[in-house]
Amino acid sequence: MELWSRRKFFLTSLAGSTIASASKLFGRTFPDGSGWSAAGSLAPTAQGKRPLIISSANGLHALGAGMDILMKGGDTLEAVVAAVTIVEDDPNDDSVGYGGLPNEEGEVELDASVMHGPTHRAGSVASVRRIKNVSRLAKTVMEKTNHVMIVGDGARRFAVAEGFEEMNLLTEHSRKIWLAWKASSSFNWRPGIDSPEWKEHLSAIFDGDAEKIAYAENVIAHPKTGTIPCMAVDAKGDISATTTTSGLSWKIPGRVGDSPIIGAGCCVDNEVGAAGSTGKGEENIKISGGHTIIEMMRQGKSPTEACVEAMGRVARNYKNDKKKLGMFHLYFYAINKDGAHGAVSLWRNGYEANKQAAYAVHDGPESRLAPCTPYFDAIGGDQ
């Protein structure tokens, strides 16, 4: 593959140290080491470590596969796709790939995108059925065609032609949750999902398993929007990213979120950094969140500060009305060329109640979870 030349990316150390000193006097510190000053000025990008690979929290166990590739001098896109493929293959992760929660008709539909920084290329697929590893399929679109996005049955047929195996993506676990959701729509018109009748129905579906019943109740009440974005920078400073998802649970067939949208759910500029997102994709699409974050980092903002700016644009679409914003969750994740990283969550808690929102990082011997910066804390508000 022909590699495009890139100009080197420099930060002036004198200006950086001056602003950094000011941030210590007047500002707060984010997880990536950057500061948000009381006066609203932004500290310079913190220096990080390379190679680096990050993802949403559900990729914690998978980042090692990507780091192995980076440590051996492998390509950054190979690294991120290798990591998310592990999650796509996992039937216990019902937000990605095999076992993903289905649309309202009980069909699993997957979306994914990739961007390769060194060659400035991208590939994307959306509303794909019966093909498990859609991140690899998006990479194949990038490598084998002059297209960027292929969708629906056309993407499935392309996958089969390229040797991808067709399979039923609906696991028994996901099928039962879908059945419970399907039944809940009729119960909502009668006694309601908190009624004894509904509880009895749910218990029958899951053979009285209390843990599975509680999980199903939560997913039915709060449809999942989980995804896995993954981005990496190697020792040379080359960057790639991918985002893959089964999308919003119980969605209208054909609904597409931000994950396959280049510039929203996935964005890479090899001179600057990479960004991705999880949560309600519609809100990210409206602000082109990935592109927004890249452009903020190009101006000198740290990954965390850039994510705060993107989240602020979402919040301003609702005039910062927390009641309306409370109807959904959203996360932004970013790395820069130097290996600094950060993530911002709209709300303090993650997808699990009373649990600090976090993301996965691997820049050394093993992967770890790092806390996301809650948006309202970052701007000095409360939650």
- Alpha-carbon distance of 130 to 13, in angstroms, equals 51
> CA of 39: how far to CAs of 35, 170, 333, 378, 383, in Å?
11, 52, 25, 13, 22
Q: Checking DSSP bridges between strand 273-279 and strand 330-336, what pairing results, if any?
A: antiparallel
The catalytic position among 76, 119, 225, 227 is 227
Residue 204's SS3 state is helix
Catalytic, 227? Answer yes
Pick the closest to residue 237 from 139, 336, 159, 307 (CA basis).
336
Pick the closest to residue 335 from 101, 86, 115 (CA basis).
115
Strand residue runs (E) in 280-346: 330-336, 341-345
Per the listing, tokens 């979306």 go with 111
Would the CA dihedral through 243, 249, 255, 257 be positive or negative? negative
Q: Please list, residue by residue across 91-124, b when 16 or more beta carbons sit within 10 angstroms of its beta carbon and e when fewer do.
A: eebbbbbbbbbbbeeeebbbbbbbbbbbbebbbb
Residues taking part in catalysis? 227
